[in-house]
Amino acid sequence: MPERAVISVRRIGHVTIEGVLRLGYAARFITLTLLHSGTSFRRLRLVIRELYFTGVLSLIIILVSGLFVGMVLGLQGFQTLQTYGSESALGVLVALSLVRELGPVVSALLFASRAGSAMTAEIGLMKATEQLSAMEMMAVDPIARVVAPRFWAGVISMPLLAAMFSAMGVFGGYLVGVVLIGVDEGSFWSQMQNAVDFREDILNGVIKSFVFGVAVTWIALFEGYDAPPTAEGVSGATTRTVVTSSLAVLGLDFILTSFMFRGA
Amino acid sequence: MLDLWVGLFVCAGIGALLVLALKVGNMSGFSVADTYQLYANFDNIGGLKPRAPVKSAGVVVGRVAEITFNNDRFTARVALRIEKNYKFPKDTTASILTSGLLGEQYIGLEGGGDDKMLAQDETIKLTQSAVVLEKLISQFLYSKAAEGDSKK
């Protein structure tokens, strides 16, 4: 009996040490990435190429889901607001929930599964097929050449995607609320403009999506770089990227929200 | 080809931000217009918040810029930012009103008959505080009690 207790305690210790070690590797990894970012700004071509793969190719999924999220918000919001006789506040509801929360969060979740997983798989496979080692042999730093451009592409495209998501969502809410249901167009826009503050709401939303962009690309790149160089290893790393970055986005969102909107 | 798409992507992203700022938010119109500042002291501002509208005859003529507490007179000092092209006479009354039953509170300005107009940084002398429901109820109860006394 005591031996079994010792074994389980030892297992807890092992898991903790592993976790701390990986966290340390991840921190070292991001520091190295930031230190070696010079190349990606001197050779913007590399970043532009990655912007195409992470940003432009994510456009369709972001725009379509933004539109539908906005339309659903319009429908559901109308149902609820109608019971209080304040349908004219539909614009406020749609815009605030999109700009503050849904825009940054949902687009970050979509970005993690659309672009993040692709990044992990790509880098993991590069590692498994020893392309990264080959680069090192040629005195090319893989972090500067492969990792940093992807990092910056992700960080740049995330706020842009979130803004497009929110704009599309507001348009979707407008379509359902004003065109379909027939909420008064004037009060829809004017109440929205009265309630949404540029600094408080829109800028905070942009800051959020920037933070999410850093978190998601960091996790995706680290998982890829750290993946065991086997087929199983890469597939496991891809799964971990989606799970970890989704959880990180939701957790960070709570922390950021509690600092930004304290209900003042 | 790659450059074109990335360029389009970045432009669309910045465009979306601009749409959010101008169409959804309130960057357009008001904050750009020239304004001048007036002050008003209230005994009680109720639930008035910065950025609440200032209306005259129902038309939005400005916004509440800042609310501070005047420790010498124990009153609330409210700074109003009024659009330049609206002038109000010296004996204007400022009162705190509520739009609708549960709506937000705003400041209503009612012009008087004075020839001189309020200028930058002047203080509106005549003010009317917000209605506090508890005070209203207690006043009502007292008056009822007084009625009962006088009937005896």
Asked if A142 contacts A136 with a C-beta cutoff of 8 angstroms, the reply is yes
Q: Which chain B residues are within 8 Å of A196, Cβ to Cβ? A: 24-26
Q: Quick one: pLDDT at residue A245?
A: 94
| Tally of domains in chain A | 1
Sign of the dihedral through C-alpha A240, A242, A248, A250: negative
Please give the Cα distance from B42 to A40 (Å, whole number).
58
Cα distances (Å, whole numbers) of residue A112 to A56, A120, A126? 15, 10, 20
B9–A contact, CB cutoff 8 A:
yes
Strand pairing category for B123-124 and B75-83 = unpaired
Nearest to A198 among B2, B14, B26 (CB): B26
Going by pLDDT thresholds of 50, 70 and 90, the confidence category of residue B101 is low
> Residue A82: left if φ>0, alpha if ψ -120 to 50, beta else—which one?
alpha
Place of tokens 């998501």: A165
Q: Give the mean model confidence (pLDDT) for residues B56-71.
A: 86
Q: Is there a domain that residue A8 lies in?
A: no
User: In this prediction, does ipTM exceed 0.90?
Assistant: no
Nearest CA in chain A to B13: A160
Q: Is there a domain that residue A19 lies in?
A: no
Nearest CA in chain A to B15: A164
What A35-41 contacts at long range (C-beta under 8 Å, 24+ apart), as own/partner pairs, is A36/A141, A36/A143, A36/A144, A36/A147, A36/A148, A37/A144, A37/A148, A37/A151, A37/A152, A38/A144, A39/A141, A39/A144, A39/A145, A39/A148, A39/A149, A40/A144, A40/A148, A40/A149, A40/A151, A40/A152, A41/A152
Q: Hey, what are B134's tokens? A: 């508890």
Angle between helices A148-174 and A103-111 in degrees, nearest 10? 130
Q: Hey, what are B142's tokens? A: 């007292």
Q: Is there a domain that residue A188 lies in?
A: yes
Q: Is there a domain that residue A31 lies in?
A: no
Please give the Cα distance from A84 to A80 (Å, whole number).
7
Q: Is there a domain that residue A3 lies in?
A: no
Of B126, B96, B127, B118, the residue nearest B38 (C-alpha) = B118
* Contact across the interface for A167 and B19, Cβ inside 8 Å: yes
Q: Identify the bridge partners of residue A9 per DSSP, sorted by sequence position.
A: none
Q: Give the mean model confidence (pLDDT) for residues B24-48.
A: 75
Q: Is there a domain that residue A176 lies in?
A: yes
| B19: Cβ contacts below 8 Å, ≥ 6 apart | A167
Asked if A159 contacts A206 with a C-beta cutoff of 8 angstroms, the reply is yes
Q: Quick one: pLDDT at residue B152?
A: 58
Q: Which chain B residues are within 8 Å of A163, Cβ to Cβ? A: 13-14, 16-17, 20
pLDDT at B102 over 70: no
* Contact across the interface for B19 and A193, Cβ inside 8 Å: no
| B24: Cβ contacts below 8 Å, ≥ 6 apart | A95, A99, A166, A167, A170, A192, A193, A196, A202
Structural element, H or E, at residue B64? strand B59-70
Nearest to B9 among A56, A197, A202 (CB): A56
Q: Is there a domain that residue A186 lies in?
A: yes
Please give the average pLDDT of every successive group of 10 residues along chain A, which has 264 residues.
Answer: 86 93 93 88 88 91 94 92 83 90 94 93 92 91 90 93 94 91 82 81 92 95 91 92 94 92 64
Please give the Cα distance from A148 to B127 (Å, whole number).
61
Write down the mean pLDDT value for chain B.
83
pLDDT at B3 over 90: no
B59–A contact, CB cutoff 8 A:
no
Of A118, A211, A233, the residue nearest A162 (C-alpha) = A211
On whether the pTM is more than 0.90, the answer is no
| B131: Cβ contacts below 8 Å, ≥ 6 apart | B46, B96, B98
Q: Quick one: pLDDT at residue A24?
A: 94
B21–A contact, CB cutoff 8 A:
yes
Q: Is there a domain that residue A22 lies in?
A: no
pLDDT at B29 over 70: no
CA angle centred on A194, ends A190 and A199, rounded to 5°: 135
Q: Identify the bridge partners of residue B70 per DSSP, sorted by sequence position.
A: B75
Which residues span the domain enclosing A136? 36-260
Q: Which chain B residues are within 8 Å of A201, Cβ to Cβ? A: 25
Going by pLDDT thresholds of 50, 70 and 90, the confidence category of residue B43 is confident
